[in-house]
Amino acid sequence: MNLYTTSQNGVLIRLTEERWKHIISGHSELVSYQAEILETIRHPEKILVGNHQELLAVKQIVSGKYLIVVYRELSEGGFIITAYLTRRLRELTKRKQIWP
């Protein structure tokens, strides 16, 4: 099972079965959020740069709760690394914002 979406940079990003299992094993609350994870990459509210040049797509899903999708873009396509929910957006504001 591979699912695909397109990033703001026009890069095809894949969510592999292995990564999906990794996400839901550590964050069981995301079991029903597969579509939202792909949508967050396609239409984020903002994109930040991580510590190792990975990208973090951020989207508020309910009041005060944000979905963070960590992914990497490569010349031949990209892939999702992980995803999680947080209310602590302040910690993310220390990162460099590259979009919008």
Is the distance from CB of 62 to CB of 80 less than 8 angstroms?
A: no
Q: What is the pLDDT of residue 90?
A: 86
Q: How many domains does the chain have?
A: 1
Q: What is the pLDDT of residue 85?
A: 97
Task: Quick: pLDDT tens for 25-74.
Answer: 999 999 999 999 999 999 999 999 999 999 999 999 999 999 999 999 99
Domain boundaries, position 33: 2-99
- Residue 18 confidence (pLDDT) above 90: yes
DSSP for 26-66, please give it. H-GGGTT-HHHHHHHHHS-SEEEE-TTS-EEEEEEEETTEE
Task: Quick: pLDDT tens for 61-96.
Answer: 999 999 999 999 998 899 999 999 999 988 888 899
